Structure 1
Amino acid sequence: MKKYLLIILIMVLAVTLTACNSGNGLTNTEDSFVTGNVTVLKDGVSSNLSNVVIEIDNKQEVTSENGSYKIEDLDSGKATVRVLKGASNVSSKVVSQSNEDQIVLWENTINIDAGENIVDIPVNTIASVLKYYSEFHNKGVWQIAFYANPLSGKEIKSGKVIDPDGKEYTLEPHFGSQWHQYWNLTEPLAGYYTYIVEFADGTQEEFKAEIKLSDFQIDFPNLNYPVANQVIDTVAPTFEFDYIPETDKAYLRIEKKLDNDEWERLDWITINNAQEYKIKDTILEAGNDYRWTLQTVVSADVFPWSEAKPQYEYFTISK
């Protein structure tokens, strides 16, 4: 009898230990999750990136308006994280960096530990539209730019962009592993742009993405003070301006006139409101000529990133 009781006790203990281990082992899917924020980058400027897909081991989550995401119930251990751009205005094919109708913007392998895992992800923009004032044309014109950023382990061999009229633009090495190309337009050219990149391993990425007419219809900010070659008597003026509420970011750009009539670019200054900015008294100097403008990022996105730069206004600081 004692022998049978001992056997039963051992069986109960074994079941209990198995249950405990299954709830707290290395493959626990209840306590492991990944959270973070996704930002889009261009020329050192970053902004939260909404409405892109984060994929970890076939589980997906769309980033919120502020670029945040959270994917739960993950296994501990190594996992591949991808950032995918949906196909609302993208049609892809023959893609080595793509997942069916989605472009892979970022990919990396991480180690997931039990509990919270924070993974913040920077993503580079693919295309941008800059509306700027041209003194030569005496009106607003546009600059289109395309960027190619290989995934980890890839190396770009060549690339090109074909505009809606069939004209080809060759991508060239830019900074680091990035390639890019830009060109100017005096009139909007809406439609699908074809992007083709060849990699050193023989693979290729190709997709078409639409730049809409609305992407060219960008409002310039208004520059209100100082303007029209005004002479001011302070090295710490309050710059006055206004821009549309939908603006994502704004940057005050000031340049100093040199003796050879060239212009020296000073630091970009981030603007935190849509009306005015009082500059520090350590940036400008009495007796010099300056010009300024306000560059606004209207839409910080992967495709396209839209921004505007109106004509410069000139002023002088008296001695």
Structure 2
Amino acid sequence: MTRPLEDVTAMIAQARNLGADETMALRRAVWPDGRISAQEAGILFELNRVSSAPSHEWVDFFVEAITAYLVEQAEPRGYVSDENAGWLMQAIDHDGKVDTLAELELLVKVIERAENVPDSLKTYALEQIRHAVLHGEGPTRCGTGIKPGSIGTAEVRLLRRVLYAAGGAAPAHINRAEAELLFAIKDATLDGQNAPEWQTLFVQAVSLHLLTDQRFRALSRQDAARLHAFMQDTSPSIGGFFGRVAGALVSGAPIELLPEREPEPAAAHEAPLSKREQDWVQAMVDGDGKLDPLERALLKALTQG
């Protein structure tokens, strides 16, 4: 028989331990029907805060459960609302910072799993990583010995996951704010003992920002909800719409489903940087008064693109 959630919570809060056995008991108490309530999500966060020794099993369960609560349960599925993003940031930021690797992994996983998240959530995640790099503190620095002003492998991997996640403003695109954050991290870590992967990420991400169509934006949650409602509508008007489409396909008549789009830009390797983009690159390179090795690598990549 499954133990009530209150009994399991009291047991763990007293022991302050979240091992494999405690995690299994929680999984059975919280997730018997595959759904997480708002109250249960709050309890999981509180247990994560008070635990003195969270196990790998706990981190996996905590991330899985809260991600399902935020991404899979709300309609339309896959789209995190402003309200839920605010709840997540408040739950994590109760004391002004991300305290645990479980919280940071959760933040990144939600952005990865969702079709789209509010810009504020992605910005919040990136700022947590920048804080760790600049100040040498945070969940990525526990026991690493990495000094402030250096970027380690853990931060590079987290940056890559957040920047290239599907849930950002534009999947496979790097926006201007993100590119400028990368320059800020670069400037702050020029004299640091950095992970070798850092230069590769910096060059690739900034190049992607400059050489892709920045007009692209992921479908918003509101638009996704309207599309979901449209696809679920079986009224005669919708049937008539699809009937007209089918008839036009048979007759060969033109169908105008969407407003005509502007022509797509040429492929990245065919289109030089615009004057605006050149000015931006020049301003960023001139920002610290010297041409450093990462900027040289970036300029080389752009000229060879």
Q: TM-score range by the shorter chain?
A: under 0.3
Q: TM-score, normalization: structure 2?
A: 0.23
Bigger strand fraction: 1
The structure whose RCO (Cα within 8 Å, separation 6+) is larger is: 1
The structure having more radius of gyration, on CA atoms, is 1
Bigger helix fraction: 2
Q: TM-score, normalization: structure 1?
A: 0.22
